Amino acid sequence: MRKLKKMVCAMKNRIQFAAGMSLLAVLSGGIFATATQAQSTSPPTTVNLALGKPITATSIDCDFECGPELANDGNLSTRNACFGPLDECAVVVDLQANYPLAEIKIFWEAACGKNYTIDASDDGAVWRTLAVVTNNAALNNDIAVSGNGRYVRMNGTERCIGYGFSMWEFEVYGSVQVPPPPVPDVIPPSTPGGLRATFVSSRQIALAWTPSTDNVGVAGYRVFINGSQVGSTTTASFVANGLLANTSYDFTALAYDAAGNSSSISAPLTVSTADASAVASYATNFNSSENPLSENNQWVAGKDTGVDWNNPRSASGKAVASVLSGAGSSRYDDNIAHLSPSFQAFNANQYAQGTVYLAGGYSASHEIELLLRFSIGDHDAQGYEVLWGLTGYLAVVRWNGAVGDFTPIYDPGVGSIPVPRDGDVLRAEISGTIITVKLNGIEVARVDVASAETVWSYGQPGIGFWPVDDAIPEYYGWKSFEAGDL
């Protein structure tokens, strides 16, 4: 028996377990440990996971020469020591991630741990015992363990000598899985389909197409005119500017991904710009009773086309909201419509003008709107809104696409414009990046939309309404409307 004890000490208390072992192994030297088989999906790299990680101790025996951070600094000449008079000491290292654990090494000073456990935890609160060590007298302990954890603890319950638990180094070895090398992406995106023109003027053509698909993800699109690349975009749309009037152009597009793979070129689309002498204009007194407002399909309505917004309606010589806004999933589901580009395409420089309809004595949370460079698509609305609130405020807003996604550009608050009256005429013009607002022929605001980063460069004039809370939709609207190129 004595010979066996000497052999155990000479081995420096190294404990190893067969794969799959889950019982308590007992050596004659008095060191106990438990183990369970760890699973691995790729070859692991075993490293000292504790090196330099956050570490704490339940007590410290000196002011600055034996703090817990000295137990995992990689230096065998510095040490941590718990308070001498205490028989209990816990040293806890935070590995900062959950790892498969394989081996614990403790290098003790003469004041070693006689009885202690090695524990692991996922949260630092609930602990699992991985090894039990008893009657230890060796200064170097090498303990094989199996299990997982983020926090690893040496939980001492009895000292070897009268001084506190004192360790030169506390090392925790575990598996860092080495990921397999990435598989190169050689699959190109699908070819853009359904190339179509959504807006045509004498100087601009706006395009859209069915988005491509890719096994990883489409990074963007390249757009070509007559075979030469003229631009790129990350969305399935593009605006060609600076074109010649009354001229035919062949458009194509391709998709590409982040790995540099490109799709085939799309089928060509031939589009001709409008005659420069053609000037778009429109005027209406809303004489028809329609819901939604259509006037022989000359309007694109918010609910019918955009889905997420509501439709204006017309009746008895006025256009108003068809429903209260804010009653659904979004408070900003305005009642909106713009003139259809299929009926008449307006230039980028355009105006919209309306004559106010207001029921006598009416006051509520209610706004009427003039829209500029506006475009409504499936779950998408983009353009500029000039709004006039019943309490006497004017604002300019850029719509960015999804319902509720907008950017305030100009909002000076109540008093920025007089309270509306029945018969007032509000006019909004946009030329380049400047929106000018006039009330009864007098300029009341001039706003540079370039301050809002993205500038919408095309679209149609239109109208909108935002009645919320206690508003009555048909009490505030437009009794006439006109729009035209500038």
Q: Which CATH architecture has domain 281-485?
A: Sandwich (2.60)
CA distances from 5 to 1, 25, 340 (A): 6, 16, 95
Distance of CA 203 to the CA centre of its chain: 36
Residue 206 — pLDDT band, cuts 50, 70, 90? confident
Q: For residue 110, give both structure tokens.
A: 């003469």
| Predicted local distance difference test score (pLDDT) of residue 211 | 96
| Predicted local distance difference test score (pLDDT) of residue 171 | 96
| Predicted local distance difference test score (pLDDT) of residue 140 | 95
| Predicted local distance difference test score (pLDDT) of residue 179 | 60
Residue 355 — pLDDT band, cuts 50, 70, 90? very high
pLDDT surpasses 90 at 36: no
Residue 164 — pLDDT band, cuts 50, 70, 90? confident
CA distance 60 to 88: 12
Amino acid at 418: P
Helix, coil or strand: residue 452: helix
Helix, coil or strand: residue 5: helix
Chain position carrying tokens 């409008």: 274
- Average per-residue pLDDT in the chain? 87
Amino acid at 132: V
pLDDT surpasses 80 at 238: yes
Please compute the mean of the pLDDT values over residues 77-101 and round it to a whole number.
Answer: 87
| Predicted local distance difference test score (pLDDT) of residue 14 | 33
Nearest of 232, 267, 269 to residue 250 by alpha carbon = 269
Which residue ranges make up each domain of the chain? 2-177, 193-272, 281-485
Q: Name the CATH superfamily for 193-272.
A: Immunoglobulins (2.60.40.10)
For 2-177, give the CATH class: mainly beta
CA distance 118 to 98: 16
The residue among 30 and 92 whose pLDDT is bigger is: 92
Domains 2-177 and 193-272 share a fold: no
Dihedral (C-alpha) 396, 399, 404, 408: value to the nearest 10 degrees? -30
Please compute the mean of the pLDDT values over residues 136-143 and round it to a whole number.
Answer: 94
Residue 62 — pLDDT band, cuts 50, 70, 90? confident
Distance of CA 434 to the CA centre of its chain: 32
Write out pLDDT tens, residues 459-468: 999 999 999 9
Nearest of 359, 348, 362 to residue 434 by alpha carbon = 348
